[in-house]
A and B are shown apart, each in its own frame.
Chain A
Amino acid sequence: MSVAELLDRDATGIAAAIAAGEASAAELAEAALARIAARNPVLNAFTDVTAARARARAVALDAARARGAALPPLAGAPVAAKNLFDIAGLATRAGSRINRDHPPATTDATAVARLEAAGGLLLGALNMGEYAYDFTGENAHDGASRNPHDTGRMTGGSSGGSGGAVAGGMAAVALGSDTNGSIRVPAAFCGTFGLKPTYGRLSRAGAFPFVASLDHVGPLARSVRDLAAVFDALAGPDAADPACTRRAAEPVGQGFEAGIAGLRIARLGGWFARHRMAESDAALDLACAALGVTAEAALPEAERARGAAFLITMAEAGELHLPRLRARAAEFDPAVRDRLIAGALLPAAWVQAAQRFRRWFAQQAEAVFRDHDVLLAPATPMAAPPLGTQSVTLDGVEMPLRPNIGLYTQPISFIGLPVVAVPVWPGTLPMGVQVIAAPWREDVALRVARALEARGVARAPVAPFGA
């Protein structure tokens, strides 16, 4: 097998090949950089390439192997991070025009540092929707990320470059962030696995904020074992993130293979059964059939929950960006700017009502999880739309596309539940299924995701280049 072919393996598989001496980390780094040079002009996933850093890390890993030192679990795996994560030496643009005037970051975000410590070769920073306020992967300044499975289609966003880099075989693992669906949507549209952990589980320190009440970080990858390995590498307290849990890390690296015997799994009805298109119905049916799921569960008032997430997002982001809106409003992506300005105007009582509703809705979910261990729902109503699409028809009603991509993801992240987005293939384009667990039970969601992968229903192949 050539070194370039190794790039199509998952991160764990690449690390195993390097540990076994099938290739050096230096050779792997060169192959990954060559692939980025060939594919990124089409896919537009990377906004910065950190070639010198990847090469230096590879040399250090090869030296460690040569002297017989134990290698970290992902040694030599090509990785990258959404460009809202601080990477020392780069200005953290967060998808914006404005932030690229910032001085370069002097240290790495916690997640970047921990991923590299686990052996990742950091190849660069990835395209994203401006300030993460996006579900499409289109960026007004850097151009759209393009879906590797059909380059005329959206990657989804806001972690669009993360989806494109992983599905395009340019990185085995990419870090993303998810406030209302920004890991799960690109994972669904690009046909990768994605993990949005429990709110507070993984440190957000050094990630440019969007909505403090709702922001999460996590990985996109091409296998469940990679999600588990990255989760374990990133987990653990971090005083630099005020929301990061003080709970000790709870490793999932072995348990995800435990199977699903005894787990009570149901598909979500109600809100999550409305607005579906044929492809989201088919995707969920495939997952339920593979798992033998016939039970249905209800999460009451999910529509209001989605609305409350919408208001909190507007208000917190509007306030966060107020200084930039005062001074440089014309430099924003217009679609982002108009929502931020409106958000900066929301009456306090509206936002407090949304935050109180969050408490109530979390209590309803707690009750549902007394009877169920895992809930299944579509990630999006539709497969990746063509770039530039403005509207979608759901339940016979034409609606604006952008906000409605997140119909099914927003109520779940609103209350911080852990979710694995699992790629299934009802047709030629991938669709995502959300595997949702109770707070702090990423282990259970990963077990179900692994079962779907092991049964051949979920898979995340590298797209043939030129598709």
Chain B
Amino acid sequence: MPDPMPPDPEALLAALLPPTGIPLDPAWRPAVAANLRVAGAIAAALQAFPLPDATEPAPVFEPGR
């Protein structure tokens, strides 16, 4: 199985920005893309690390509160 590749940040930005409704000033676009590039590299490294299926996510939720 090939390791996931870091995604193209420009392609991500073009695909994912419209549903958010955020009005993006073109001047901000390079910095947003740069942040997506960093995030994509991190995500690729995380997804390349094999976790057991039984390893559950660890956010916080306690029923009854």
Enumerate chain A interface residues (CB-CB to B < 8 A).
200, 212-213, 239, 242-243, 301, 304, 307-308, 310-311, 314, 322, 325-326, 329-330, 334, 337-339, 341-347, 349-350, 352-360, 362
| Given A308-B46, A334-B28, A338-B32: A362 touches B39 (CB 8 Å cut-off) | no
**Helix, strand, loop or mixed for chain A's interface?**
helix
Measured CA separation A246–B16 after assembly (Å): 40
Residues from chain B with a CB closer than 8 A to the CB of A304 are 45-46, 49
Measured CA separation A360–B50 after assembly (Å): 11
Shortest A130–chain B CB gap in Å is: 15
Contact B21 A353 (CB under 8 A): no
Pairs A–B under 8 Å by Cβ, sample size 9: A310-B38, A311-B42, A329-B22, A329-B28, A334-B28, A334-B31, A341-B20, A354-B46, A359-B55
Measured CA separation A194–B31 after assembly (Å): 33
| A335 (CB) vs chain B CBs: closest residue | B31
Shortest B42–chain A CB gap in Å is: 4
Residues from chain A with a CB closer than 8 A to the CB of B58 are 213, 355-356, 358-359, 362
Measured CA separation A308–B42 after assembly (Å): 7
Residues from chain B with a CB closer than 8 A to the CB of A314 are 35, 39
B32, B38, B42, B52, most chain A CB atoms within 10 A: B42
Enumerate chain B interface residues (CB-CB to A < 8 A).
12-13, 16-17, 20-25, 28, 31-36, 38-39, 42-43, 45-47, 49, 51-52, 55-60, 62, 65
Measured CA separation A400–B24 after assembly (Å): 24
Contact A212 B45 (CB under 8 A): no
| Given A355-B57, A356-B55, A358-B57: A345 touches B49 (CB 8 Å cut-off) | no
| A359 (CB) vs chain B CBs: closest residue | B58
Shortest A316–chain B CB gap in Å is: 9
Residues from chain A with a CB closer than 8 A to the CB of B35 are 314, 338-339, 341-343
Residues from chain B with a CB closer than 8 A to the CB of A349 are 43, 47
Contact B62 A242 (CB under 8 A): yes
Contact B22 A322 (CB under 8 A): yes
Measured CA separation A357–B42 after assembly (Å): 12
The 10 A-B residue pairs with the shortest CB-CB distance, nearest first, are A355-B57, A342-B35, A307-B42, A350-B43, A338-B31, A345-B16, A359-B58, A358-B58, A353-B46, A243-B60
Measured CA separation A283–B36 after assembly (Å): 35
Residues from chain A with a CB closer than 8 A to the CB of B36 are 342, 345
Shortest A215–chain B CB gap in Å is: 10
Measured CA separation A212–B24 after assembly (Å): 26
| Given A213-B60, A242-B60, A355-B59: A342 touches B32 (CB 8 Å cut-off) | yes
